[in-house]
């Protein structure tokens, strides 16, 4: 199948890019591996997106997807297995289709970072989770722990505070990456206990999580919990990329002011690029630049 632009990833960055390319008259195929909206769709409450005092991540990204489709973006579900250069552009292969595209936008986001503990993989789905809005209902009136100090962890607290009997918020340092007003609000929740300078060092339980062990200020603490939610960030994941492009030391893609990578006509935007601030609004801004650049950059 031939298309002017192919977008890999259906989060806010990819959807916004598609709106700009199609409105400029470029045929556009967007391939999403899991669910339209990406990680943003799992955010329980968004309070910092202009135009909406409060809106769920699902509702916000659903509106983006409907707008993209209304403008002509062809949204396809599938896993991209390879991205290669061709004589006149790029070849993108999924399990079901091979696409030829003049220009490609990588907007696939990142994968969730794990703690790296023994039994973590085995206990995933059996008490260990990386998505509070997906699995939170399993822990109604139970005791859970959340690991992390950024916005994702606070979002998880917001969501789980309405369900869990008790929440331990565990941060490895004294200072949180999330905003002070967010931490103040969380600290005032009656069912939340904040533990700083603490790290999870062990997971207990054979077939089901039964507790966690913490190291805090040189001491060992055992906590009995029914669930552990890991919210310690993400890392780039580009197994399909067969083109040698420039990246930073963390593996994030380096782009110029046009969101173009070191490979001509290959663009990237959103959480997969090297930048300091990762929010829904910045992903949309990146996508707008990338989409517009597909029209204007020769």
Whole-angstrom Cα distance, residue 291 to residue 298?
A: 13
Q: State the first-to-last Cα distance of the chain, in angstroms, to the nearest integer.
A: 23
Whole-angstrom Cα distance, residue 105 to residue 112?
A: 21
Question: Of residues 59, 134, 248, 256, which has the active-site annotation?
Answer: 134
Active-site residue, 131 included: yes
In the numeric block, which tokens belong to residue 230?
């890991």
Question: Of residues 62, 74, 102, 131, which has the active-site annotation?
Answer: 131
* 200 φ, ψ (degrees, to nearest 5): -75, 120
For the chain, give the secondary structure using H, E and C.
CEEEEEEECCCHHHHHHHHHHHHCCCCEEEEECCCCCHHHHHCCCECCCCCCCCECHHHHHHHHHHHHHHCCCEEEECCEEEEEECCCCEEEEECCCEEEEEEEEECCCEEECCCCCCCHHHHECCCEECCHHHHHHHHCCCEEEEECCCHHHHHHHHHHCCCCCEEEEECCCCCCCCCHHHHHHHHCCCCEEEECCEEEEEEECCCCCCEEEEEECCEEEEECCCEEEECCCEEECCCCECCCCCECCCCCECCCCCCECCCCCEEECHHHECCCCCCHHHHHHHHHHHHHHHHHCC
Question: Of residues 62, 74, 102, 135, which has the active-site annotation?
Answer: 135
Active-site residue, 269 included: no
Counting every residue, how long is the chain? 298
Instruction: Write out the catalytic residue numbers.
Output: 131, 134-135
């Amino acid at each position: 199948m031939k298309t002017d632009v192919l977008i890999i990833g259906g989060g806010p960055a990819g959807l916004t890019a598609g709106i700009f390319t199609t409105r400029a008259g470029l045929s556009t195929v967007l391939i999403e591996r899991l669910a339209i909206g990406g990680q943003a769709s799992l955010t329980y409450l968004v309070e910092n997106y202009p135009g909406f005092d409060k809106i769920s991540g699902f509702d916000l990204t659903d509106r983006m997807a409907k707008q993209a489709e209304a403008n002509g973006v062809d949204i396809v579900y599938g896993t991209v297995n390879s991205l290669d250069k061709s004589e006149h552009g790029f070849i993108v292969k999924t399990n079901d289709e091979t696409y030829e595209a003049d220009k490609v936008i990588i907007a696939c986001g990142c994968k969730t970072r794990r703690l790296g503990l023994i039994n973590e993989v085995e206990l995933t789905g059996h008490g260990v989770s990386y998505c509070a809005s997906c699995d939170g209902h399993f822990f109604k009136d139970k005791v859970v722990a959340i690991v992390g100090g950024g916005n994702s962890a606070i979002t998880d607290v917001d969501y789980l505070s309405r369900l869990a009997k008790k929440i331990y918020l565990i941060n490895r340092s004294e200072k949180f990456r999330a905003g002070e007003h967010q931490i103040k609000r969380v600290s005032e929740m009656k069912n939340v206990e904040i533990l700083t300078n603490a790290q999870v060092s062990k997971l207990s339980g054979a077939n089901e999580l039964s507790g966690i062990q913490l190291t805090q200020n040189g001491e060992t603490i055992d906590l009995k919990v029914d669930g552990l939610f890991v919210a310690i960030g993400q890392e780039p994941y580009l197994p399909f990329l067969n083109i040698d492009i420039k990246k930073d030391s963390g593996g994030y893609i380096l782009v110029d002011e046009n969101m173009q990578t070191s490979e001509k006509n290959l663009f990237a935007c959103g959480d997969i690029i090297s930048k300091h601030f990762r929010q829904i609004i910045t992903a949309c801004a990146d996508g707008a630049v990338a989409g517009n650049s597909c029209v204007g950059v020769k």
